[in-house]
Amino acid sequence: MDLPTFAVQCLNAVQYGLLLFLVASGLTLIFGIMGVINLAHGSFYMLGAYLAFTLAPAFGQNFILMLVVGTLLAALFGYLLEWAFFSYLYQRDHLQQVLMTWALILVFEELRSMLVGNDVHGVQAPDWLSGSIQLGSLMSYPVYRLFASAACIVIGLALWAVVNRTRLGMMIRAGASNRDMVRGLGIHITALYRIVFAGGVALAALAGMIAAPMSSVYPGMGGHVLIICFVVVVIGGIGSISGALIAALLVGFVDTFGKVFFAELSGIGVYLLMAVVLVWRPQGLKGAA
Protein backbone atom coordinates (compact mmCIF):
# COMPACT_ATOMS: atom_id res chain seq x y z
CA MET A 1 0.00 0.00 0.00
CA ASP A 2 1.54 3.31 -1.05
CA LEU A 3 1.41 6.44 1.02
CA PRO A 4 -1.45 8.31 -0.73
CA THR A 5 -3.68 5.23 -0.56
CA PHE A 6 -2.81 4.81 3.08
CA ALA A 7 -3.60 8.47 3.74
CA VAL A 8 -6.96 8.19 1.98
CA GLN A 9 -7.87 5.10 3.97
CA CYS A 10 -6.89 6.83 7.21
CA LEU A 11 -9.09 9.80 6.32
CA ASN A 12 -11.97 7.41 5.58
CA ALA A 13 -11.43 5.60 8.86
CA VAL A 14 -11.43 8.82 10.87
CA GLN A 15 -14.50 10.12 9.06
CA TYR A 16 -16.44 6.88 9.63
CA GLY A 17 -15.31 6.70 13.25
CA LEU A 18 -16.36 10.27 13.97
CA LEU A 19 -19.76 9.70 12.43
CA LEU A 20 -20.23 6.61 14.58
CA PHE A 21 -19.18 8.64 17.59
CA LEU A 22 -22.06 11.08 17.06
CA VAL A 23 -24.61 8.27 17.11
CA ALA A 24 -22.90 6.31 19.87
CA SER A 25 -22.44 9.27 22.22
CA GLY A 26 -26.19 9.78 22.38
CA LEU A 27 -26.73 6.07 22.84
CA THR A 28 -24.20 5.81 25.64
CA LEU A 29 -25.67 8.81 27.47
CA ILE A 30 -29.22 7.49 27.26
CA PHE A 31 -27.91 4.12 28.36
CA GLY A 32 -25.69 5.44 31.15
CA ILE A 33 -27.99 8.10 32.57
CA MET A 34 -31.47 6.78 32.01
CA GLY A 35 -30.66 3.09 32.07
CA VAL A 36 -32.65 2.47 28.91
CA ILE A 37 -31.48 0.05 26.26
CA ASN A 38 -32.79 1.85 23.23
CA LEU A 39 -32.81 -0.45 20.21
CA ALA A 40 -34.67 2.25 18.28
CA HIS A 41 -31.68 4.59 18.37
CA GLY A 42 -30.72 3.56 14.83
CA SER A 43 -34.11 4.83 13.68
CA PHE A 44 -33.08 8.35 14.69
CA TYR A 45 -30.09 8.07 12.38
CA MET A 46 -32.47 7.01 9.64
CA LEU A 47 -34.75 9.91 10.58
CA GLY A 48 -31.82 12.28 10.01
CA ALA A 49 -31.01 10.82 6.62
CA TYR A 50 -34.63 11.15 5.49
CA LEU A 51 -34.78 14.67 6.93
CA ALA A 52 -31.81 15.56 4.75
CA PHE A 53 -33.53 13.98 1.75
CA THR A 54 -36.70 15.98 2.42
CA LEU A 55 -35.10 19.28 3.38
CA ALA A 56 -32.22 19.41 0.89
CA PRO A 57 -34.27 20.64 -2.13
CA ALA A 58 -35.81 23.42 -0.05
CA PHE A 59 -32.53 24.72 1.31
CA GLY A 60 -30.39 24.42 -1.83
CA GLN A 61 -26.91 25.74 -1.12
CA ASN A 62 -27.64 26.57 2.53
CA PHE A 63 -26.46 23.16 3.66
CA ILE A 64 -25.34 24.27 7.10
CA LEU A 65 -28.65 26.00 7.75
CA MET A 66 -30.38 22.78 6.73
CA LEU A 67 -28.30 20.83 9.26
CA VAL A 68 -29.27 23.27 11.99
CA VAL A 69 -32.98 23.19 11.15
CA GLY A 70 -32.96 19.40 10.84
CA THR A 71 -31.19 19.02 14.18
CA LEU A 72 -33.71 21.26 15.89
CA LEU A 73 -36.59 19.31 14.39
CA ALA A 74 -35.01 16.04 15.53
CA ALA A 75 -34.46 17.40 19.04
CA LEU A 76 -38.07 18.46 19.22
CA PHE A 77 -39.10 15.01 18.04
CA GLY A 78 -36.88 13.41 20.69
CA TYR A 79 -38.33 15.66 23.38
CA LEU A 80 -41.88 14.69 22.47
CA LEU A 81 -41.00 11.01 22.14
CA GLU A 82 -39.43 10.96 25.60
CA TRP A 83 -42.53 12.59 27.02
CA ALA A 84 -44.96 10.31 25.21
CA PHE A 85 -43.16 6.98 25.29
CA PHE A 86 -39.72 6.60 26.86
CA SER A 87 -40.63 8.20 30.18
CA TYR A 88 -42.82 5.15 30.78
CA LEU A 89 -39.91 2.75 30.27
CA TYR A 90 -37.70 3.77 33.19
CA GLN A 91 -39.59 1.75 35.76
CA ARG A 92 -39.51 -1.41 33.67
CA ASP A 93 -36.76 -3.98 33.52
CA HIS A 94 -34.23 -4.19 30.72
CA LEU A 95 -36.01 -7.04 29.00
CA GLN A 96 -39.23 -5.12 28.57
CA GLN A 97 -37.30 -2.09 27.34
CA VAL A 98 -35.58 -4.22 24.74
CA LEU A 99 -38.95 -5.50 23.56
CA MET A 100 -40.76 -2.20 23.48
CA THR A 101 -37.97 -0.38 21.67
CA TRP A 102 -37.67 -3.35 19.30
CA ALA A 103 -41.37 -2.92 18.56
CA LEU A 104 -40.78 0.80 18.11
CA ILE A 105 -38.38 0.01 15.24
CA LEU A 106 -41.21 -1.79 13.45
CA VAL A 107 -43.45 1.23 13.95
CA PHE A 108 -40.81 3.68 12.69
CA GLU A 109 -39.97 1.56 9.65
CA GLU A 110 -43.61 1.30 8.67
CA LEU A 111 -44.22 5.01 9.22
CA ARG A 112 -41.19 5.73 7.07
CA SER A 113 -42.60 3.47 4.38
CA MET A 114 -45.97 5.24 4.54
CA LEU A 115 -44.50 8.74 4.45
CA VAL A 116 -41.65 8.45 1.92
CA GLY A 117 -42.00 4.97 0.42
CA ASN A 118 -39.47 2.16 0.12
CA ASP A 119 -37.25 3.50 -2.66
CA VAL A 120 -33.54 4.09 -2.30
CA HIS A 121 -32.73 7.77 -2.60
CA GLY A 122 -29.63 9.86 -2.99
CA VAL A 123 -28.98 13.27 -1.50
CA GLN A 124 -26.95 15.79 -3.50
CA ALA A 125 -24.13 17.53 -1.68
CA PRO A 126 -24.23 21.33 -2.25
CA ASP A 127 -22.04 22.63 -5.09
CA TRP A 128 -19.53 24.26 -2.79
CA LEU A 129 -18.79 20.88 -1.19
CA SER A 130 -18.97 18.65 -4.24
CA GLY A 131 -15.44 18.85 -5.67
CA SER A 132 -12.43 16.81 -4.71
CA ILE A 133 -8.85 17.51 -3.69
CA GLN A 134 -5.80 16.02 -5.39
CA LEU A 135 -3.62 13.82 -3.19
CA GLY A 136 -0.39 12.93 -4.95
CA SER A 137 -0.66 12.37 -8.69
CA LEU A 138 -3.24 9.57 -8.80
CA MET A 139 -5.47 9.93 -5.78
CA SER A 140 -8.13 12.47 -5.03
CA TYR A 141 -10.33 12.92 -1.99
CA PRO A 142 -13.88 14.30 -2.02
CA VAL A 143 -14.29 17.65 -0.29
CA TYR A 144 -17.56 16.55 1.23
CA ARG A 145 -15.89 13.81 3.25
CA LEU A 146 -13.44 16.33 4.66
CA PHE A 147 -16.39 18.56 5.50
CA ALA A 148 -18.10 15.62 7.23
CA SER A 149 -15.04 14.96 9.39
CA ALA A 150 -14.67 18.64 10.21
CA ALA A 151 -18.35 18.95 11.10
CA CYS A 152 -18.11 15.92 13.38
CA ILE A 153 -15.06 17.38 15.09
CA VAL A 154 -16.85 20.70 15.67
CA ILE A 155 -19.89 18.92 17.06
CA GLY A 156 -17.69 16.68 19.19
CA LEU A 157 -15.90 19.71 20.65
CA ALA A 158 -19.22 21.39 21.35
CA LEU A 159 -20.42 18.25 23.08
CA TRP A 160 -17.23 18.12 25.12
CA ALA A 161 -17.69 21.76 26.14
CA VAL A 162 -21.30 21.20 27.16
CA VAL A 163 -20.50 18.08 29.16
CA ASN A 164 -17.37 19.39 30.85
CA ARG A 165 -17.90 23.13 31.14
CA THR A 166 -21.57 23.71 31.92
CA ARG A 167 -23.89 23.12 34.83
CA LEU A 168 -26.05 20.86 32.65
CA GLY A 169 -22.94 18.87 31.76
CA MET A 170 -22.13 18.48 35.42
CA MET A 171 -25.55 16.96 36.03
CA ILE A 172 -25.12 14.69 33.01
CA ARG A 173 -21.75 13.43 34.25
CA ALA A 174 -23.13 12.93 37.72
CA GLY A 175 -26.11 11.09 36.29
CA ALA A 176 -23.87 8.79 34.28
CA SER A 177 -21.76 7.83 37.27
CA ASN A 178 -24.53 7.48 39.87
CA ARG A 179 -28.11 7.85 38.78
CA ASP A 180 -29.75 7.28 42.15
CA MET A 181 -27.52 9.77 43.93
CA VAL A 182 -28.40 12.49 41.43
CA ARG A 183 -32.05 11.83 42.04
CA GLY A 184 -31.43 11.94 45.76
CA LEU A 185 -29.69 15.31 45.52
CA GLY A 186 -32.88 16.94 44.32
CA ILE A 187 -31.92 17.53 40.69
CA HIS A 188 -34.96 17.79 38.46
CA ILE A 189 -34.44 14.36 36.93
CA THR A 190 -37.44 14.45 34.60
CA ALA A 191 -36.16 17.54 32.83
CA LEU A 192 -32.61 16.16 32.74
CA TYR A 193 -33.80 12.92 31.15
CA ARG A 194 -35.85 14.78 28.59
CA ILE A 195 -32.94 17.02 27.59
CA VAL A 196 -30.47 14.14 27.39
CA PHE A 197 -32.85 12.10 25.29
CA ALA A 198 -33.61 15.01 22.94
CA GLY A 199 -29.87 15.63 22.66
CA GLY A 200 -29.19 11.99 21.86
CA VAL A 201 -31.85 11.96 19.15
CA ALA A 202 -30.49 15.22 17.72
CA LEU A 203 -26.93 13.83 17.58
CA ALA A 204 -28.03 10.64 15.85
CA ALA A 205 -30.17 12.55 13.36
CA LEU A 206 -27.35 15.00 12.70
CA ALA A 207 -25.06 12.06 11.94
CA GLY A 208 -27.70 10.72 9.57
CA MET A 209 -27.98 14.07 7.80
CA ILE A 210 -24.22 14.38 7.42
CA ALA A 211 -23.98 10.81 6.14
CA ALA A 212 -26.84 11.16 3.65
CA PRO A 213 -24.85 12.66 0.74
CA MET A 214 -22.12 10.00 1.17
CA SER A 215 -24.31 6.92 1.42
CA SER A 216 -27.70 6.50 -0.12
CA VAL A 217 -30.86 6.88 1.95
CA TYR A 218 -32.61 3.52 2.18
CA PRO A 219 -35.08 1.50 4.31
CA GLY A 220 -33.62 -0.29 7.30
CA MET A 221 -30.45 1.83 7.25
CA GLY A 222 -30.76 2.37 11.00
CA GLY A 223 -30.31 -1.29 11.88
CA HIS A 224 -26.70 -1.66 10.81
CA VAL A 225 -25.63 1.58 12.44
CA LEU A 226 -27.41 0.64 15.65
CA ILE A 227 -25.54 -2.62 16.08
CA ILE A 228 -22.16 -1.06 15.28
CA CYS A 229 -22.92 1.69 17.78
CA PHE A 230 -23.74 -0.85 20.45
CA VAL A 231 -20.33 -2.36 19.76
CA VAL A 232 -18.81 1.12 20.15
CA VAL A 233 -20.64 1.72 23.43
CA VAL A 234 -19.66 -1.64 24.87
CA ILE A 235 -16.01 -1.31 23.81
CA GLY A 236 -15.85 2.22 25.19
CA GLY A 237 -17.64 1.45 28.43
CA ILE A 238 -21.26 2.28 29.10
CA GLY A 239 -21.90 5.93 29.92
CA SER A 240 -18.44 7.15 28.94
CA ILE A 241 -18.30 9.77 26.18
CA SER A 242 -14.51 9.72 25.90
CA GLY A 243 -14.64 5.92 25.79
CA ALA A 244 -17.17 6.15 22.97
CA LEU A 245 -14.81 8.44 21.03
CA ILE A 246 -11.83 6.11 21.38
CA ALA A 247 -13.94 3.08 20.57
CA ALA A 248 -15.58 4.76 17.58
CA LEU A 249 -12.20 5.63 16.07
CA LEU A 250 -10.92 2.11 16.76
CA VAL A 251 -13.96 0.64 15.06
CA GLY A 252 -13.54 3.08 12.17
CA PHE A 253 -9.94 1.96 11.59
CA VAL A 254 -10.63 -1.75 12.05
CA ASP A 255 -13.58 -1.62 9.67
CA THR A 256 -11.88 0.50 6.99
CA PHE A 257 -8.59 -1.41 6.96
CA GLY A 258 -10.40 -4.70 7.37
CA LYS A 259 -12.14 -3.97 4.08
CA VAL A 260 -8.79 -3.24 2.45
CA PHE A 261 -6.92 -6.30 3.67
CA PHE A 262 -9.59 -8.95 4.27
CA ALA A 263 -12.38 -8.00 1.91
CA GLU A 264 -14.33 -11.21 2.45
CA LEU A 265 -14.32 -11.28 6.22
CA SER A 266 -14.35 -7.54 6.85
CA GLY A 267 -17.75 -7.64 8.54
CA ILE A 268 -16.36 -9.74 11.35
CA GLY A 269 -13.48 -7.45 12.27
CA VAL A 270 -15.27 -5.07 14.59
CA TYR A 271 -17.02 -7.89 16.46
CA LEU A 272 -13.71 -9.65 16.89
CA LEU A 273 -12.31 -6.40 18.27
CA MET A 274 -15.19 -6.23 20.72
CA ALA A 275 -14.71 -9.82 21.83
CA VAL A 276 -10.99 -9.22 22.42
CA VAL A 277 -11.62 -6.03 24.39
CA LEU A 278 -14.28 -7.66 26.55
CA VAL A 279 -12.18 -10.68 27.35
CA TRP A 280 -9.42 -8.31 28.39
CA ARG A 281 -11.60 -5.68 30.10
CA PRO A 282 -15.19 -6.88 30.65
CA GLN A 283 -16.34 -3.37 31.63
CA GLY A 284 -15.07 -1.72 28.43
CA LEU A 285 -12.09 0.57 27.90
CA LYS A 286 -13.34 3.46 30.02
CA GLY A 287 -16.09 1.79 31.99
CA ALA A 288 -16.17 1.82 35.78
CA ALA A 289 -15.07 -1.57 37.09
Q: List residues near other proteins by CB under 8 A.
A: 31, 37, 39, 88, 92, 94-96, 98-100, 102-107, 109-111, 113-114, 223, 227, 230-231, 233-234, 238, 264-268, 271-272, 274-275, 278-279, 282-284
In the complex, what is the shortest distance from the CB of residue 242 to other proteins, in angstroms, rounded to a whole number? 19
Closer Cβ to other proteins, 39 or 189, answer by number: 39
Minimal distance, residue 104 CB to other proteins, in Å: 7
CB of 85: closest distance to other proteins in angstroms?
8
Nearer to other proteins, 99 or 170 (CB): 99
Nearest to other proteins of 56, 104 (CB atom): 104
Based on CB atoms, which residue is closest to other proteins, 58 or 115? 115
3-state secondary structure the chain: CCHHHHHHHHHHHHHHHHHHHHHHHHHHHHHHHHCCCCCCHHHHHHHHHHHHHHHHHHHCCCHHHHHHHHHHHHHHHHHHHHHHCHHHCCCCCHHHHHHHHHHHHHHHHHHHHHHHCCCCECCCCCHHHCCEEEECCCEEEEHHHHHHHHHHHHHHHHHHHHHHHCHHHHHHHHHHHCHHHHHHCCCCHHHHHHHHHHHHHHHHHHHHHHHCCCCCECCCHHHHHHHHHHHHHHHHCCCCHHHHHHHHHHHHHHHHHHHHHCCCCHHHHHHHHHHHHHHHCCCCCCCCC
Q: Write down the least CB distance from residue 233 to other proteins, Å.
A: 8
User: For residues 97 and 149, which CB has a smaller minimum distance to other proteins in the complex?
Assistant: 97
How near is the Cβ of 185 to other proteins at its closest, in Å? 25
